[in-house]
Structure 1
Amino acid sequence: MRIAQLSDMHFVAQGERLYDSVDVNAHNADIIHQLNHLIDPIDAIIVSGDITNDGTKPQYQAAAKILNYARCPLYLINGNHDRTAAFLEHLAPLCEPLLSAEQVRYRVDLAKRTLLFIDSTVPEQTYGQLSQATLDWVAYQLSQTSLPVAIFMHHPPLALNSAHMDPINCQNGDKLLALCEQFSHLEGIYCGHNHCYTTTFYQGVAIVSAPATSIQIPVYQRDATPSYQFDQPSCLIHTLSDDDRWVSFQHHFQLFQGVRRFPWVGGK
């Protein structure tokens, strides 16, 4: 099993640029192309939220067009930059478990693992919160499987030492973390939102935020000033070892230079 976890792709409408400067659509298209051509093939791609920048129809149309080039199943969840109704309307056709869903909450059993996908968004807010119905659903799913479980959501359920992002993480993440003590087969909680690769542990459960495919946010523990940086793009790849351990690593993509025109200097 090899699963690529992308996050915070922030697609914009065709022909536009993020912050009027970053061609994220071309950048994301190149990332999908690179994943399609890895030496060790990918079995699935997860995108852990903020698929679009503003949740508009043109942005989802651009996202759907490019994500549809993926040569493996897609498992998608929404983030605070998305709009749930539009997310389901335009992206459910790319993610089979969402086809008949009225909300973003589903389970996938894949290669000796149970994967749970949940919505942590609050309409019109940047912070996250889990509904009681979602918490009850997670507890029920955990009780119904003996397989190791990984949860995917957008907002981290606890602080990750980022003065900028911690105030807008999942505000009641402690209720989800309480399940770590009740269900020993909960293996990890994998998030996006923080625009950087960060990892910690709670009661032996891995809590991980994936890097963004677009722009990264540096982790400053005390400086909350919003700032962005253009690091080499990357994602997480989750694999199973021969002895059935979940192993994750950061995979860096080749830098996308875009289309450039050079003057012809060699004559006619």
Structure 2
Amino acid sequence: MDPIIIVRDLKHVYSDGTTVQISNQKSLIAHRGEKLAILGANGTGKTTILSVIIGLTKPTQGQVEVAGLIPGKQFNRLRHKLGVVLQNVDEQIIGPRVYDDIAFTLRQAKVARDQIEREVNRVASLLGIEHILHKIPHYLSGGEKQKVALAGALVHKPELLILDEPLDSLDSKSHEEVEKILNWINDEYGVTVLLTTHDLNWVAGWADNVYVLSKGEILARGKPDEILIDLDKLHQAGLHPPMLVMLFHRLRQRGYQVDIPVTLDQAEYYLKGINNT
């Protein structure tokens, strides 16, 4: 598959000496149409990597390409290919009304007013927020704000959607709704989705591939059912293993010969194997 993100030999040093680094041996690569998660505890460099990818931070050294462009030098050409949702959506929502906020990117691009109206209504319908288009964002719930920020990121039909801890502060209902939206735009339009999270229970059944960060470096990368069963690496990264992984590790400690699942479907399949032995 064609890579849409390539990050190699990255190093960024902050003024206080804090360093985030990706060596050549463990490049970060996202392919078109992929759902990719960067996992790590707070302060491990997840947000820095996203900031470099979207061109907000110019790295001290390294190769960074997004859709064939260099973010730090070619952002004006890149921004129409990107949709971004920040961790704190209150910092991102700037319009006086929900409609204005969603329309902001299109207005900046000098899109015709009637087309803006069509696109805003289209994405609002997709996210189920037509009824709040004329409301003031300040008074919305956390889940509604997340959807507004997501609508603003999707209204211009990006190739790549980048989200920083998008589900962190949502209640279970909003969490499920946003997850369905991310899956739908990936399935329906082939939008590549890259996000950061420390919720391993959720990401186990969502991501195609995961990267684990520890102390500013990539500790592991691969499929969720390979990476999320490695307790040593997860503990080294300061991450709590998925509950299913812990449960089945305990079953193995008690003598049951069973594979370790990361999803409920896998768990059901493996448990049937126990019953049939």
TM-score normalised to structure 1 length: 0.33
Q: Is the radius of gyration larger for structure 1 or structure 2?
A: 2
Greater percentage in helix = 2
TM-score normalised to structure 2 length: 0.32
